[in-house]
Amino acid sequence: VQLQASGGGSAQAGGSLRLSCVVSGRPVSNFDVGWFRQAPGKEREFVAVFRRSTNAKYYADSVKGRFSISRDNTKNTVALQMSSLSPEDTAVYYCAASERRYIMSALFDGTRYDYWGQGTLVTVSS
């Protein structure tokens, strides 16, 4: 299984970007897929997750109402639509896939994920 994240780039504050995570090797519906980010000098943090079984979505408080996660089974992809961006959103964004089944709160922890993409840089200027 491989994950390929793309779509990062530069944006002005208030702008939007759309990240994409393509899963290869197995159907994306076999996994819970999450997005994480790591800003310079900071620890990696949870951003959002798409649950395989219920199609439920969960977001970190810092992005709730601004970011939206979605899944496209035909393209084997999970996307993260980011709007109302602020400089605090500047980070390397990673997608990750979890094979085991956990309760939702466990999926906020990156150690629960089995496969990771390479990361894509998002830079937001004020």
pLDDT digits (tens, 9 = 90+) for 102-120: 999 999 999 999 999 999 9
Task: Say which amino acid occupies 39.
Answer: A
The residue-averaged pLDDT of 17-23 equals 98
- pLDDT of 107: 96
Closest to 48 measured CA to CA, from 16, 98, 37: 37
- Find residue 123's DSSP bridge partners: 10
- pLDDT of 53: 85
> Please, are residues 83 and 25 in contact by the beta-carbon 8 Å criterion?
no
Q: How many angstroms separate the CA atoms of 90 and 83, rounded?
A: 13
- Find residue 24's DSSP bridge partners: 2
- pLDDT of 9: 97
pLDDT in tens, 35-70: 999 999 999 999 999 999 899 999 999 999 999 999
- pLDDT of 123: 98
> What is the SS3 assignment for 41?
coil
- Find residue 49's DSSP bridge partners: 34, 58
